[in-house]
Amino acid sequence: MKNCFYAAGLLISGLCFSQETPSKIKISFFDGIAVAGYVDHGAFINFTGPNVSLTHHNVKFVLGMLPSLRIKEDRSSGTKNSPIMPTLGAGLTMVYKKIALQIPAYYNTKTADQNGNWKIGFGFGYSFK
């Protein structure tokens, strides 16, 4: 386990402090990225929230929380949920120039007929910064 942390430290220091590659790791609360996409038979609209990002040349990798609005029709019988619900996801966003590609994960809570589970989606967006 100790060797794993040592190897990870060498990798990160090589990416961050190498003179050949202008990489930069940054922590932020908002990156100005808006994304729309598909997950679990519905849509989502989100903005990147608190995150850790790594910029390497023209590509930015963002790993963080995704405050979102999920849009999904409730097909269950009886009492139904609203088709638009606020939720929090987590995921990886890659930005090249101003175009964003995102792989978010959202948790669906346990219901009477389904166990709770994570759903993976995909989305495209725009970086305003």
Q: Please say whether the beta carbons of 69 and 39 come within 8 A.
A: no
Report domain extents, the chain.
22-127
* 26-58 residue pLDDT tens: 887 878 899 999 998 889 999 988 999 999 888
Per-residue pLDDT of the chain (129 residues; tens, 9 = 90+): 445 445 545 445 555 544 445 678 888 787 889 999 999 888 999 998 899 999 988 899 999 999 999 998 877 777 777 889 999 999 999 999 999 999 999 998 887 777 889 999 999 999 998
pLDDT for position 12:
53
The DSSP annotation for 39-102 comes to ETTEEEEEE--SEEEEEETTEEEEEEEEEEEEE-----SSS---SEEEEEEEEEEEEETTEEEE
Q: Please say whether the beta carbons of 58 and 96 come within 8 A.
A: yes
Amino acid at 98: K
pLDDT for position 27:
82
Q: Which residues contact 37 (CB under 8 A, 6 or more apart)?
A: 43, 44, 102, 104, 121, 122, 123, 124, 125
The Cα 104–Cα 82 span in angstroms is 21
Q: Which residues contact 122 (CB under 8 A, 6 or more apart)?
A: 37, 38, 39, 101, 102, 103, 104
pLDDT for position 1:
47
pTM listed for this prediction: 0.73
